[in-house]
Amino acid sequence: MKQIKKAVIPAAGFGTRFLPATKATPKEMLPIVDTPTIQYIVEEALASGIEELLIISGHGKRAIEDHFDSAPTLESVLEKKGKFDLLEKVRSTADINIYYIRQRYMRGLGDAILCAKAFMGDDPFAILLGDDVVYHPQRPALRQLIDIYEQTGGASVLGCQIVPDEKVSSYGIVSGDMTDNERLMRVNDMVEKPSIEDAPSRMAVLGRYIVTPTIFPLLEQTKPGKGGEIQLTDALRVLASQEPVFAYNFEGERYDLGDKLGFLRATVEFALRRDDLGDPFRDYLRELIPKL
Ligand code: G1P
Query: How large is the average pLDDT for residues 222-247?
Result: 96
pLDDT given at position 202: 95
pLDDT given at position 92: 85
Does residue 1 sit within a domain?
no
What is the C-alpha radius of gyration for the chain, rounded to an integer number of angstroms? 20
Task: Quote the mean pLDDT of the chain.
Answer: 95
Domain count, the chain: 2
Rounded to whole angstroms, how far apart are CA atoms 144 and 51?
A: 17
The Å distance, Cα 117 to ligand 1 centre, comes to 20
pLDDT given at position 211: 98
The Å distance, Cα 111 to ligand 1 centre, comes to 13
Inform me whether the pLDDT recorded for 143 exceeds 80.
yes
pLDDT given at position 96: 83
**CB 192 near ligand 1, within 6 Å:** yes
Burial of 90 (0-12, 13-18, 19+ CB in 10 A): middle
Q: Do residues 184 and 270 share a domain?
A: no
pLDDT given at position 255: 97
Q: Do residues 33 and 139 share a domain?
A: yes
Query: How large is the average pLDDT for residues 178-205?
Result: 95
Query: How large is the average pLDDT for residues 44-48?
Result: 95
Does residue 92 sit within a domain?
yes
Nearest CA to ligand 1 atom 13: 171
Query: How large is the average pLDDT for residues 71-82?
Result: 94
> In sequence order, what E strands does the chain have?
6-10, 31-32, 35-36, 52-57, 98-102, 125-128, 132-135, 156-162, 172-178, 184-192, 203-211, 245-249, 253-256
Does residue 21 sit within a domain?
yes
Does residue 29 sit within a domain?
yes
CATH number of the domain enclosing 251 = 3.90.550.10
Does residue 246 sit within a domain?
yes
**CB 110 near ligand 1, within 6 Å:** no
Least trusted range by pLDDT, from 43-52, 95-104, 171-180, 228-237: 95-104
Nearest CA to ligand 1 atom 9: 172
Q: Do residues 265 and 216 share a domain?
A: no
Q: Do residues 252 and 218 share a domain?
A: yes
Query: How large is the average pLDDT for residues 135-163?
Result: 97
Rounded to whole angstroms, how far apart are CA atoms 241 and 238?
A: 5
Does residue 238 sit within a domain?
yes
Nearest residue to 125 (alpha-carbon basis) of 50, 236, 218, 204: 50
Inform me whether the pLDDT recorded for 209 exceeds 80.
yes
Q: Do residues 99 and 191 share a domain?
A: yes
Q: Do residues 56 and 187 share a domain?
A: yes
Nearest residue to 38 (alpha-carbon basis) of 51, 59, 57: 57
Q: How far is CA 204 from its chain centroid?
A: 14
Does residue 87 sit within a domain?
yes
Q: Do residues 73 and 198 share a domain?
A: yes
Q: Do residues 172 and 284 share a domain?
A: no
pLDDT given at position 94: 81
Separation of first and last alpha carbons in the chain: 55
How many other C-beta atoms are found inside a 10 Å radius of the C-beta of residue 196? 11
The Å distance, Cα 177 to ligand 1 centre, comes to 22
Burial of 177 (0-12, 13-18, 19+ CB in 10 A): exposed
Mutation to probe ligand 1, out of 14, 106, 107, 131 (largest number of atoms < 8 A from CB): 131
**CB 131 near ligand 1, within 6 Å:** yes
Least trusted range by pLDDT, from 104-108, 127-131, 147-151, 204-208: 104-108
Query: How large is the average pLDDT for residues 21-34?
Result: 95
Residues paired with residue 161 on neighbouring β-strands, in sequence order = 204
Q: Do residues 252 and 172 share a domain?
A: yes
Query: How large is the average pLDDT for residues 179-202?
Result: 95
Does residue 69 sit within a domain?
yes
Q: Do residues 150 and 223 share a domain?
A: yes
Query: How large is the average pLDDT for residues 239-248?
Result: 97
**CB 58 near ligand 1, within 6 Å:** no
Q: Are 6 and 52 in contact (CB under 8 A)?
A: yes
Q: Are strands 156-162 and 245-249 parallel, antiparallel or unpaired?
A: parallel
pLDDT given at position 218: 98
- Looking at this protein, which amino acid is placed at residue 263? F
Q: Are 238 and 211 in contact (CB under 8 A)?
A: no
Inform me whether the pLDDT recorded for 95 exceeds 90.
no
Confidence of residue 263 (pLDDT cuts 50, 70, 90): very high
Residue 199, CA distances (Å) to 9, 203, 231, 274 in order: 27, 9, 17, 38
DSSP 3-state of 136: coil
Nearest residue to 95 (alpha-carbon basis) of 126, 71, 73, 128: 71
What percent of the chain shows pLDDT beyond 90? 93
The Å distance, Cα 49 to ligand 1 centre, comes to 24
Q: Do residues 68 and 174 share a domain?
A: yes
Nearest CA to ligand 1 atom 15: 109
pLDDT given at position 168: 96
**What residues make up the domain containing 284?**
260-292
Q: Do residues 286 and 242 share a domain?
A: no
